[in-house]
Structure 1
Amino acid sequence: MSNFAKVRPVGYRKGRAAIGEDPTRRYPIYAIKGGAPTLLEQRDEVARLLADENYDGDIAELLQRADQITAQIEQANQRQARLRALQGAVPPGDPQPGDQRQQPGMGPDDRGNPDPVSAAEAFVRSKALEHFRTSGKRGQFSVEYRAAPTGTVTTTTQPQQNTRLPGIIPNNPDFPLLVASLLDRQTSDGSTLEYMRDTSGPQSSWNKAAVVAEGGDKPKSGPFTFDLITTTTKTVAHWVPITRQTADDNSQLMGYINGRLTYGLEYKMDREILTGNGTTEMQGILTTPGIGSYQPGVGSTDVKLITVRKAKTQGELALYPPTAVVLNPMDWQDIELDEDDNGQFRVIANVTDPGAPMRLWGLTVVTTVAMAAGTALLGGFRTGATLWERQGITILMTDSHADYFTANTLVILAERRANVAVHTPQAFVKITFAAATS
């Protein structure tokens, strides 16, 4: 029997009969000649015939065929649904789909993104930690987490180039919680940094721009002076011992990384950015030559609130508008609790919302014990300095330390490499508050 003879007709049509044939005979209509039509092809053909107002075939049989095709399609859909349900079924006690995503550090961030949002999450999600736990091998491994933009990948076949920083940095203030977040942050490709430090002084001393009459000579601004500063990235690191059982628990492991190691690096970074000596340590802003200073005059009764406002004016007069002020928590307490003669707080603080952004005279306020009490740092931080990171926060873990292996104890270490380029010292003002009077 030919393939054509095997195909079931989807309808009939009238035609001219051959000699000797019954003239009332109807001829079958096939969707595809030469092969059996699929369910979709049969459905489309029957639908076309049902929609054809001129169709003069057997309507009852066409309707019956439509019902049969509908039933066959529904049966095929039910079969696929049962197959998917069977494949997704898991016996009790076996790992359920998605369980790993609900473990600490495995879930998405608050925006639904699957990428890690902290050094601890990057570490517990890493293939290196998974291999360390399952392989039973001794040794050390590391996982790097970098919040700053990724730098250029270099190869050992090319000599390492020093990174020279641009001299003009755009001013783009944000609302951070740490001193490091106040700065412009970039990635360094090498360990040596070279940048130009502007030592020209206040803009008012060299800016000679003026209105010029037609045909007149244009004024020349200057003089400009720059120093080429060459420095190196500095490594900040520390480690803690943990038990092997703790290392197998994602919650405890993340607690150690976030609560101790990462916090310790951030705290030290704040101190280095403010007071680093620039030689054996990172370059601190307060130790950079050329920054401005403000201190109330002898006998002044200005409270700290007023002192910050006058220092802001000094920064604005230097044509480097301040964006933030860094205070010791004790000095910020004095400012928030300062009262007028009627016992009313001068600073209107929302005490019911401690998470609200701290602002003073339009400036972002950052409090840190890294700033000495009685002083403050005010400035245009993103205009004046850049934090260059050679290596983001890197977490290392090993069982190969002294006699820790036999004690079932591991070492987990966190480190980062960075330095600060203070390229525009005039953008900063160091504040020294007046001594309290009784």
Structure 2
Amino acid sequence: MPTTVDNARLKELNSALRTKAAELDTISTAFTVEDGGVTVSTEKAAAFRKALADAQEIKQLITDLEGAAAIQTFLNEPASSPLAPRDAALTAHLAGQSAKSLGERFIDSSEFKSLAAAGFRGSFDQIVTIEGSGLHQLARKDVFSRSAGTAAVLGLGTPEQLEMVPRPLRPGRIRDLFPSETTTANILYGVRVTGFTNGAAVVPERAMEVPAGGGAAVEVYARAPQSQLTFKTVLYPVAEIAHTMPIHKNTLADEPRLRGIIDTELVDGVKMVEDNEILYGPGGDDSITGIVNTQGVQTYAQDAADKQTAAIRRAATRAVLANYPPTGIVLHPFDFEDLELETDGQGAYRVAVNVAIGAQKIVWRLAVVDSMAINEGKFLVGSFGLGARLYDREQVGVQVSTENRDNFERGVVTMRGSERIGLEVPRPESFVYGTFKAAA
């Protein structure tokens, strides 16, 4: 069957892509960073570019082969089927694929089904890469490294496994305010402007100047005044956020609970720390520097006579004065509640119209993310995506293995969720970290 051939070819291409990725990592270790600059030999740079081009070509071949397999599957359907229902079914199938969560893609993968069919016996040390979009901004590439023991089946009739009620995901993500950016580097570096003196002025075509030694003024072509720009090179580490979770091997066969564990506990756990790091990361060699802790970010305190909405608007003006119109706001849920419950002089809610029509969370034309990551009583307004950029080096992934301490003896597997991100803040003055006044 074409699908069998395609699957075999896809595995070969995935193996080749992993080899190229390892080659890129090996070559990149030869790069040296000194005084904010990167030093690399001509040979290493050429080898890196060639390996990168090869990897991109292999990746495109994988994408093309997957598309060809989908066409073959469509053409192999019975010819007697009406075309309209067939097209509708295919569209619905593709839509469902794009909307699947990370856990659902793991459960529906052919590799997991093979494990389940074998009773989770044996050792599985291969890396399986699942690519695609529509993971609710959780990941673009999900990598699973699996190894499991033997699952026992009790002969006590046919039990029914009940669906686990998952913990709800945190509703707001600070990364939602950023445009999508990716990187293949292990460290980021850029230039941060620290000062600008604007000397621009109207320049006449000719001007009268007195010679340095004195004497009568002579006509010369006018000289434009000089402006001054100061900047410094800044390094931005790519940090890993990860955690592990021990799970009994029998849970691998319990699909609903496994899906809930992956989607809520492992993935959401990484994302909660991601939110905290984007705001308050301490910085250093292995940790990103959060926006709030970046030198040069402006601050603003709510005036006693103003309401919260007015404080946000005045803080936004500070960003505008820095020539960076803000694009978003981060608020604590309690503070956003207070803001939505603000009333005018007649007791009417100021933002009731937006709430009533189910509009997006917007205040003063700015997108709002209400997140528990930000301290209560504080808010951050700024130019997300321009004044700061978030880069994904490795988007969230899940790995599963028994090769951890005494897992095999205890019948336990270890699940590991992780991601690698970098945060660049080239224009800290485009952000304003505000403080609401304390309630009376």
TM-score, scaled to structure 1: 0.62
For residue 232 of structure 2, the aligned residue among 219, 227, 233 is 227
> 2:178 matched to 1:183?
yes
| Cα gap change, 1:306 to 1:399, in 2 (>3 Å) | same
CA displacement at 1:331 relative to structure 2: 0.9
| Cα gap change, 1:218 to 1:240, in 2 (>3 Å) | farther
Moved over 6 A (4+): 84-88, 107-111, 145-151
Figure out how many residues of one structure are paired with residues of the other and give that number. Answer: 307
> 2:400 matched to 1:400?
no
Report the Cα distance in structure 1 between the residues aligned to 2:279 and 2:227, rounded to whole angstroms. 30
SS of 2:414's equivalent in the other structure is: strand
Report the Cα distance in structure 2 between the residues aligned to 1:295 and 1:86, rounded to whole angstroms. 70
> 2:124 matched to 1:129?
no
CA displacement at 1:252 relative to structure 2: 2.4
* One-letter identity of the residue aligned with 1:335: L
Report the Cα distance in structure 1 between the residues aligned to 2:261 and 2:382, rounded to whole angstroms. 34
SS of 1:286's equivalent in the other structure is: coil
Post-superposition Cα deviations, 1:355-407, rounded to whole Å, max 9, x if no partner, equal 63101011101111110011110001111111122211121011233333344
- Corresponding residue of 2:338: 334
- Corresponding residue of 2:197: 206
- Corresponding residue of 1:119: 102
Contact 1:331 1:373 (8 Å CA) reproduced: yes
| Cα gap change, 1:85 to 1:274, in 2 (>3 Å) | closer
Correspondence list, 1:103-114, <5 A: 112=95, 114=97
Report the Cα distance in structure 2 between the residues aligned to 1:217 and 1:251, rounded to whole angstroms. 77
CA displacement at 1:220 relative to structure 2: 4.9
**Structure 1 residue ranges without an equivalent (≥5):** 1-83, 89-97, 152-175
> 2:265 matched to 1:269?
no
Correspondence list, 1:11-160, <5 A: 112=95, 114=97, 117-133=100-116, 134=118, 136-140=121-125
Contact 1:396 1:414 (8 Å CA) reproduced: yes
Report the Cα distance in structure 2 between the residues aligned to 1:108 and 1:260, rounded to whole angstroms. 31
Contact 1:329 1:368 (8 Å CA) reproduced: yes
> 2:364 matched to 1:367?
no
- Corresponding residue of 1:75: none
For residue 301 of structure 2, the aligned residue among 287, 292, 295 is 295
Report the Cα distance in structure 2 between the residues aligned to 1:343 and 1:273, rounded to whole angstroms. 37
Report the Cα distance in structure 2 between the residues aligned to 1:276 and 1:290, rounded to whole angstroms. 15
SS of 1:185's equivalent in the other structure is: coil
| Cα gap change, 1:247 to 1:119, in 2 (>3 Å) | same
**Structure 2 residue ranges without an equivalent (≥5):** 1-76, 142-170, 207-220
| Cα gap change, 1:109 to 1:309, in 2 (>3 Å) | farther
Report the Cα distance in structure 2 between the residues aligned to 1:340 and 1:287, rounded to whole angstroms. 35
SS of 1:293's equivalent in the other structure is: strand
Post-superposition Cα deviations, 1:25-67, rounded to whole Å, max 9, x if no partner, equal xxxxxxxxxxxxxxxxxxxxxxxxxxxxxxxxxxxxxxxxxxx
How much identity, in percent, do the aligned residues show? 29
Report the Cα distance in structure 1 between the residues aligned to 2:324 and 2:110, rounded to whole angstroms. 47
For residue 321 of structure 2, the aligned residue among 313, 317, 323 is 317
Contact 2:407 2:413 (8 Å CA) reproduced: yes
Report the Cα distance in structure 1 between the residues aligned to 2:248 and 2:259, rounded to whole angstroms. 14
Report the Cα distance in structure 2 between the residues aligned to 1:344 and 1:265, rounded to whole angstroms. 40
CA displacement at 1:247 relative to structure 2: 1.6
Contact 1:144 1:393 (8 Å CA) reproduced: no
Report the Cα distance in structure 1 between the residues aligned to 2:191 and 2:259, rounded to whole angstroms. 40
* One-letter identity of the residue aligned with 2:197: W
SS of 2:330's equivalent in the other structure is: strand
CA RMSD of aligned residues (A): 3.4
Contact 1:116 1:122 (8 Å CA) reproduced: no
SS of 1:431's equivalent in the other structure is: strand
TM-score, scaled to structure 2: 0.61
| Cα gap change, 1:140 to 1:282, in 2 (>3 Å) | farther
| Cα gap change, 1:145 to 1:185, in 2 (>3 Å) | farther
